[in-house]
Amino acid sequence: MVPTSSSWRAVRDRLDALARELREARKVAVHVIAADLAVPDEVERVVREVQALPVEIEFLVNNAGLGNVGAFATSPLERQLVMVDVNVRALVRLTHAFLPAMIARGRGRVLDHRLDGGPPAGPVRARSITRARPS
Ligand SMILES: NC(=O)c1ccc[n+]([C@@H]2O[C@H](COP(=O)([O-])OP(=O)(O)OC[C@H]3O[C@@H](n4cnc5c(N)ncnc54)[C@H](OP(=O)(O)O)[C@@H]3O)[C@@H](O)[C@H]2O)c1
């Protein structure tokens, strides 16, 4: 489903409200970037906007994701492709963008909330989730 401008406004309002709550309760700086992670250009925008912030990413939480109930063969293709884009493509892109600085600093965490509960994203995992044929 492509979000409408009013649903994006609702998402943005919800995130802004949470940011205000965190600033007041925890006295921390909070930056909000709302994006549709099913859209590759939006994921690139997230990377750019985060990299422009005066912060170091110490903890990347790959929480965004969606699932599908029902038989794969009869489920709408669009839903399956959005799942791949959000659950796999965005996760791989964001981890690839922020992991190198963590490694260089010798400090950092990636928390991965994917639906399949498999091993964490990494070179082997990235390869295995993009294989087109079973081995
Ligand atoms: N619930 C379970 O049993 C279960 C089990 C294993 C793994 N997981 C995984 O754990 C994570 C959280 O699950 P949950 O149960 O909390 O699900 P949820 O309530 O549906 O949360 C999913 C989150 O992903 C975000 N999201 C979905 N599509 C997006 C998109 N195109 N762009 C940006 N954000 C998007 C949603 O944003 P909005 O709120 O703005 O829609 C929401 O914040 C997911 O990755 C899920 O696959 C869940």
Calculate how far, in angstroms, residue 1's C-alpha sits from the geometric centre of ligand 1.
14
- Write the pLDDT tens digit of every residue in 26-49: 999 999 999 999 999 999 999 999
The predicted model scores a pTM of 0.83
Contacts 24+ apart (CB under 8 A), 122-129: 126/92, 129/88, 129/92
Residue 38 Cβ inside 6 Å of ligand 1? The answer reads yes
Q: Summarize pLDDT for 57-93 with one digit per residue, the tens.
A: 999 999 999 988 899 999 999 999 999 999 999 999 9
Token pair of 125 as six digits: 């995992």
Question: Is 88's C-beta closer than 6 angstroms to any atom of ligand 1?
Answer: no
The residue whose CA is least distant from atom 25 of ligand 1 is 64
Tokens 């981890």, residue? 95
Ligand 1 contact via 63 beta carbon (within 6 Å): yes
